[in-house]
Amino acid sequence: MCNGNSSRVSQGGSIAVLRPTQHLRRSNTDEMMLFFHNQFSASGTSVEFQGWDDDAQKERHWVVIHRDGDLSGSASPAQTPAFYSFPLESSDSSIMHLPRKLDLGVGDAGIIGRRISVMTGSTKGPLTVAEGIVGWN
């Protein structure tokens, strides 16, 4: 991931590229992205959504940032306590602001390298509709 050269310029902050699971009821895009930014003047972290269609926004979804970074056997969110969780607000804007400023680095308090899931409710309990890992943008 860090080896080699790339023509892509860093935009700062963090990014999570999320792949849909079999529970996602749409197929117009292959991936969704969440961009996390901390501005010096803001008290919290701003989160921008891309690849999220209007139909999906009508349902209740929330984001879970897990304590681990393992996508191989993704444990149920109910089995392990979340590192941080927040609801996805349905609005005309693709940017929302979290009340807490997240650490966009690596380490005990950082979100880099952690598994991230978009969840929705069902009659059988929470379902993961998309999942990925948080990385540097």
pLDDT, tens digit (0-9, with 9 covering 90-100), for 51-75: 876 555 557 889 999 999 988 865 5
CATH number at residue 23: 2.60.40.200
Residue 5 within any structural domain of the chain: no
Residue 68 within any structural domain of the chain: yes
Phi, psi for 54 (deg, rounded to 5) = -65, -35
Q: Confidence band (pLDDT; 50, 70, 90) for 112?
A: very high
Q: Confidence band (pLDDT; 50, 70, 90) for 121?
A: confident
Judge contact between 61 and 126, C-beta under 8 A.
Answer: no
The token pair at 94 is 């693709």
First and final CA of the chain: distance in angstroms?
Answer: 12
Higher pLDDT pick, 4 / 70: 70
The pLDDT of residue 104 is above 60: yes
**What's the total number of domains in the chain?**
1
Interval 12-58: pLDDT, tens = 799 999 998 876 655 556 788 999 999 887 789 999 988 876 555 55
Residue 61 within any structural domain of the chain: yes
CA distance 125 to 2: 38
Q: SS3 of 57, please?
A: helix
**pTM above threshold 0.85:** no
Q: Confidence band (pLDDT; 50, 70, 90) for 109?
A: very high
Short-list 15, 55, 17, CA closest to 136: 15
Domain membership of residue 38 as a residue range: 14-136
Residue 20 within any structural domain of the chain: yes
